[in-house]
Amino acid sequence: MISKEFAKKRLMFIQKEDYNYLTYNLIILLNELDCIAENKSFNDFKKISYLVDFIGSTRELKDFSQNELGSIYSKTHLKKKLISHLLIVLKNKNYIGISINKTHLTFNIWLKKDNIPESFFNRELFKTEIENIKKIKKEVRGLKRTTVKTMVDILYTSKNVLTWEI
């Protein structure tokens, strides 16, 4: 287990802006939400940029101050570009599928779980992330289908964080 923890720490080298960190959080999120086929896809990949800081955190959602939430919200706009690049790489490696959501004019994504080694889904190694995803699911009902605006309203605007058009 020590070597797996070491590997996880190496993955998080430049946490929150690192492609490896974003990759494993994205894969774990898709897996935990059962987004494993096009008909079970995660609507609008941009939502991930608003969630990634909470997925990898050791703190409860309710413990973030208004200033911290504001900072996280501001930085998510930079992460959107990183995640869009990451999606291209993951699609080319056949780890995820991508389809166009014509209703919301964005991309839906799903995990091609058969192409990822089963050992990756070590529930003990990613225990914190899995628990945080469960908590986020309780906070944002219908997380994989809801719109970005609704999710932002729940996670940020309702906590008095100034948001702007998404």
Residue 22 resides in a domain: yes
Q: Please give the full DSSP string across the chain, using - where no structure is assigned.
A: -HHHHHHHHHHTTTTTT-HHHHHHHHHHHHHHTT--SGGG-BS-TTHHHHHHHHHT-SS-GGG--HHHHHHHHHHHHHHHHHHHHHHHHHHHTTSEEEEEETTTTEEEEEE-GGGS-GGG--TTTTHHHHHHHHHHHHHSTTTTTS-HHHHHHHHTGGGT------
pLDDT by residue (tens digit) across 30-75? Answer: 999 999 999 999 999 999 999 999 999 999 989 999 999 999 999 9
Joined tokens for residue 39: 């008909």
Structural domains counted in the chain: 1
Q: Is residue 117 within 8 Å of 139, Cβ to Cβ?
A: no
17 domain-assigned? yes
pLDDT tens, residue by residue, 126-140: 999 999 999 999 999
Residue 143 included in any domain: yes
What separation in angstroms does the CA of 49 have from each of 17, 70, 115, 155?
A: 10, 14, 24, 13
Q: Taking each helix axis as running N to C, give the angle between helix 47-55 and helix 127-139, from 0 to 180 degrees, rounded to the nearest 10.
A: 130
Q: Residue 166 falls within a domain, yes or no?
A: no
Determine the structural domain holding residue 136 and report its residue range: 2-159
Task: Assess if residue 165 is contained within a domain.
Answer: no
Give the model's pLDDT for residue 78: 86
Q: Is residue 30 part of a domain?
A: yes
More confident residue, 71 or 4: 71
6: confidence class by pLDDT, cuts 50, 70, 90: low
Looking at 11-25, 91-105, 126-140, 144-158, which range is the least confident one? 11-25
pLDDT confidence of residue 158 = 95
23 in a domain, yes or no?
yes
In this structure, how many other beta carbons lie within 10 angstroms of the beta carbon of residue 33? 19
Domain-embedded: residue 164: no
Predicted TM-score of the model (pTM):
0.86
Residues of the chain above pLDDT 90, percent: 73
